[in-house]
């Protein structure tokens, strides 16, 4: 009896000690990090000087990083993944991007690879479109998951239109705003071509992410297949990049448009996003607005927010400044 008591008392002490040790470790880690925060930045610059300077990409606007930070994804179990009743496949996967050959090539590559990996027609229905999803949950847009391709803005604009670069840029920024808002609830994977697809190591990770996003168990063979078949996508992305020299507005003007879009919308957080109808007198921009706006008549699509129907019919115009 005494022995048992002594033992349990000892265990109690050890437990207590363990707890104190744990607390001490946690505190020292936290303090250490805190001290590091205070002292490390003063040392850092000399470290950075030793690294090769990265050349400033002329494919990006000077304020593009601020825009890139607004591009949301929704990954993980908390994201909403509902398949509408009556769907002939287990999942309806949206493939979203403003119209371009680069987007066509990228999605064709992705779908072919996913089919190789076992995404049969019974499992997945692919819906490639430039139409922004309407506001609201899965019951409104009708997608189980969304994959979005984001090209660098200048390439995106150059690849999808001729002329009117400033207005097109505003349309593309506003379109991304809409798609990011949907990532507040619906499972979404946003692929940024410049950082996720050009470098071979990043591309392999992205391929893995793209495949597992639609429930495919990723085998090394399949990743190799992805590499082997990627050349047409790379060519299309490079062609989009090359075409930015033909844009009809100066970088300064375009950077200005982006700044004003971001500052007028709290970095695209404001709801709803600005209208895609930027110039009712320009036939090409009207056509672009129609292609990028939600289409409430599509299968499994419900527009319960009045703004979506207004956008579909171009009832509201918000010209750029
Ligand atoms: C909207 O969707 C309907 C039904 O799929 C289609 O007939 C119509 O052409 C689409 N409109 C636009 C502007 O894409």
The pTM (predicted TM-score) of the whole model is 0.83
CATH architecture of 64-313: 3-Layer(aba) Sandwich (3.40)
Tens-digit pLDDT profile for residues 250-281: 999 999 999 999 999 999 999 999 999 999 99
Tens-digit pLDDT profile for residues 83-120: 999 999 999 999 999 999 999 999 999 999 999 999 99
Ligand 1 proximity of 204 Cβ (cutoff 6 Å): no
**pLDDT category of residue 37 using cuts at 50, 70 and 90:** very low
- Please give the pLDDT value at position 225: 98
Terminus-to-terminus CA distance in the chain, angstroms?
Answer: 86
Domain ranges of the chain: 6-39, 64-313
Q: Which among 132, 148, 166 is positioned nearest to 307, based on CA atoms?
A: 132
Give me ligand 1 centre to Cα 282, in Å. Answer: 21
Tell me the C-alpha distance between 318 and 280, whole Å.
Answer: 10
Ligand 1 proximity of 99 Cβ (cutoff 6 Å): no
Torsion of CA 265, 267, 271, 274, to 10 degrees: 50
What single-letter DSSP state applies at residue 83? P
Tell me how far CA of residue 106 lies from CA of 101, 126, 134, 150, 265, in angstroms: 8, 13, 24, 11, 30
Q: Which among 167, 182, 169 is positioned nearest to 131, based on CA atoms?
A: 182
Q: CB within 8 A of 159, min separation 6: which ones? A: 100, 101, 102, 103, 151, 239, 240, 243
Q: Is the pLDDT of residue 9 over 50?
A: no
Give me ligand 1 centre to Cα 129, in Å. Answer: 11
Tens-digit pLDDT profile for residues 177-220: 999 999 999 999 999 999 999 999 999 999 999 999 999 999 99
Query: Tokens 């287990």 label which residue?
Result: 90
């Amino acid at each position: 009896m005494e022995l048992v008591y002594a033992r349990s008392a000892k265990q109690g002490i050890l437990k207590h000690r363990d707890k104190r040790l744990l607390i001490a470790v946690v505190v020292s880690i936290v303090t250490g990090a805190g001290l590091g925060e205070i002292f490390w930045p003063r040392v850092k610059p000399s470290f950075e000087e030793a690294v090769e300077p990265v050349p400033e990409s002329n494919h990006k606007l000077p304020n593009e990083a601020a825009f890139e930070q607004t591009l949301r994804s929704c990954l993980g179990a908390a994201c909403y993944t509902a398949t509408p009743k009556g769907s002939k496949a287990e999942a309806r996967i949206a493939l979203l991007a403003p119209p371009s050959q680069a987007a066509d090539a990228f999605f064709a590559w992705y779908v072919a690879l996913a089919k190789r990996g076992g995404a049969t027609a019974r499992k997945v229905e692919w819906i490639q479109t430039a139409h922004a999803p309407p506001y609201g949950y899965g019951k409104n847009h009708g997608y189980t998951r969304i994959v979005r391709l984001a090209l660098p803005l200048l390439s995106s604009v150059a690849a999808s239109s001729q002329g009117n670069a400033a207005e097109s840029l505003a349309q593309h920024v506003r379109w991304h705003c809409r798609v990011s808002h949907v990532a507040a609830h619906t499972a979404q994977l946003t692929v940024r071509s410049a950082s996720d697809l050009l470098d071979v190591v990043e591309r392999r990770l992205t391929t893995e992410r793209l495949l597992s996003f639609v429930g495919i168990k990723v085998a090394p063979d399949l990743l190799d297949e992805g590499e082997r078949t990627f050349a047409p996508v790379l060519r299309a992305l490079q062609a989009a990049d090359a075409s930015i020299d033909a844009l009809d507005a100066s970088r300064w003007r375009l950077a200005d448009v982006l700044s004003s879009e971001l500052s007028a919308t709290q970095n695209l957080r404001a709801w709803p996003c600005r209208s895609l109808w930027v110039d009712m007198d320009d036939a090409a921009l009207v056509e672009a607005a129609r292609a990028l706006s939600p289409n409430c008549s599509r299968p499994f699509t419900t527009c319960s927010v009045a703004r979506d129907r207004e956008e579909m019919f171009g009832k509201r115009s918000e010209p750029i400044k």
